[in-house]
Amino acid sequence: MSYTVPKLKDFSPAALDKAASALLAALEKESASLANEADRKAFRDRWLARKDGVLTQINDLWLKAAPKDGKREVGQRVNTLKKEVEQKVEATRKQPAAATSDSALDISLPGIRRPSGAEHPIIRTMNEIIAVFRNLGYSVAEGPVVETDYYNFESLNFPPNHPARDTQDTLFLANQESKPPRERLLLRTHTSPVQIRTMEKLKPPLRILVPGKVHRNDPPDASHSPMFHQVEGLAVDTNITFGDLKGTLDHAMKALFGSDVKTSFRPSFFPFTEPSAEMFVSCFICGGSGKRGADSCRPCKQTGWIEILGCGMVDPNVFEFVKCNGYDPEKVSGFAFGMGVDRIAMLKYGLDDLQLFFQGDVRFLEQFG
């Protein structure tokens, strides 16, 4: 900071030019060496400060000291100089911090590797099932995991205290005793409550698929988990028949497991369907033979058939609960089905332990990337 504002004796244009360019050269030099915010503030103060900044000094030493007949000329030059100084100082305010020196940046270092995530095999299987039914015109509906007794049981034709409730080891929320029984909260044991909620909102005809988490009081082992996943489906219209159910599900199984699988329907029971059936597909591991070379086929237990889902015609008692929204069992009929996604994903990926899905071991999960 060697520059100081000189006193002027000679106020001729040539002398003024010389003084002005010395000042601007000093300004340029100082502005080039600013490294940080503190430097920029000191620079600003030195040149613009009211009290003793350079601009104040040229006002005192040059303009005020000028002879009367040269004041006009000096005044104009000082004004121009002031503008130039102000612009330069203003420009340094926005100047970015000095760039990192070359030695601090090693461009030969490898970049930051961002590991790509992968869809969880259960979600992937769920999405594949959904895609098949989307192509048939089904929409997706979702609903709460914490449900009322009414939506999880009563409206699905499980009357209060009926033994059918015992087949679904239900997890109940604590401290519900003060509520009327049908309002008490539980973790849904199937996604069927969403189908009731959807029928309350949308009039028939209806084609929906309902994927989601469900809970049951089952201790975890290789084939059980207190939390698992279901996809249920529901079609309601005039004149829906068991033939529609069989045709739809047979098509869906061929789309999911390959066009050469066969389907087989065997009588069963569910409270919310009548008649009800379990559907089997011919084993897509052993091709239905029950044998793998000299060994027996494990997934189908040598039977050549694998149970995939439960299904049936919607029980008229279920429609009674949503009759006022157009679901009169005298006018409409429907079929419904439900499948466990986790078990289907195990079959698809040849796994023998359900817990692998829920342990979050990266070595397992990254195989699906």
Interface residues with ligand 2NL (CB under 6 A) are 192, 195-196, 230, 232, 234, 270, 272-273, 310-312, 314, 318, 336-340
- Is the peptide bond between 220 and the residue preceding it cis, with omega within 30 degrees of 0? no
Question: In 3D, which of 346, 71, 319 has the Cα closest to residue 199?
Answer: 319
**Residue whose CB is less far from ligand 2NL, 47 or 335:** 335
Asked whether the beta carbons of 262 and 289 are under 8 A apart, the reply is: no
**Residue whose CB is less far from ligand 2NL, 27 or 309:** 309
**Residue whose CB is less far from ligand 2NL, 74 or 306:** 306
**Residue whose CB is less far from ligand 2NL, 85 or 318:** 318
Asked whether the beta carbons of 336 and 232 are under 8 A apart, the reply is: yes
DSSP 136: T
Q: Shortest approach of ligand 2NL to residue 362 CB, angstroms?
A: 30
Paired tokens of 255: 């789309």
Q: Shortest approach of ligand 2NL to residue 311 CB, angstroms?
A: 5
Q: Shortest approach of ligand 2NL to residue 177 CB, angstroms?
A: 28
Phi and psi based region of residue 326 (left: phi greater than 0; alpha: psi -120 to 50; beta: remaining) = left
Q: Please provide residue 27's backbone torsions phi and psi, each rounded to the nearest 5 degrees.
A: -60, -45
Q: Which helix (H) or strand (E) holds 310?
A: strand 305-314
**Residue whose CB is less far from ligand 2NL, 204 or 310:** 310
Instruction: Give residues with Cβ within 8 angstroms of 63, minimum separation 6.
Output: 71, 74, 75, 78
**Residue whose CB is less far from ligand 2NL, 276 or 282:** 276
**Residue whose CB is less far from ligand 2NL, 196 or 261:** 196
CB atoms within 10 A of CB 37: 10
Q: Shortest approach of ligand 2NL to residue 288 CB, angstroms?
A: 22
DSSP 31: H
**Residue whose CB is less far from ligand 2NL, 6 or 159:** 159
The residues that bridge with 309 in the sheet, in sequence order, are: 279, 339
Q: Shortest approach of ligand 2NL to residue 193 CB, angstroms?
A: 8
Asked whether the beta carbons of 257 and 284 are under 8 A apart, the reply is: yes
Q: Shortest approach of ligand 2NL to residue 113 CB, angstroms?
A: 41
In angstroms, the Cα distances linking 348 to 30, 220, 351, 353 are 73, 21, 8, 13
**CA gap 324, 26 in Å, rounded:** 90
Q: Shortest approach of ligand 2NL to residue 174 CB, angstroms?
A: 27
**Residue whose CB is less far from ligand 2NL, 47 or 228:** 228
Question: In 3D, which of 349, 338, 262 has the Cα closest to residue 304?
Answer: 262
**Which sign, positive or negative, has the C-alpha torsion 235, 337, 269, 317?**
negative
Q: Shortest approach of ligand 2NL to residue 367 CB, angstroms?
A: 27
Question: In 3D, which of 197, 198, 226 has the Cα closest to residue 213?
Answer: 226
In angstroms, the Cα distances linking 96 to 35, 150, 205 are 9, 65, 65
**Residue whose CB is less far from ligand 2NL, 211 or 312:** 312
Report which residue's Cβ sits closest to ligand 2NL.
338
Q: Shortest approach of ligand 2NL to residue 337 CB, angstroms?
A: 6
Q: Shortest approach of ligand 2NL to residue 220 CB, angstroms?
A: 18
Q: Which helix (H) or strand (E) holds 313?
A: strand 305-314
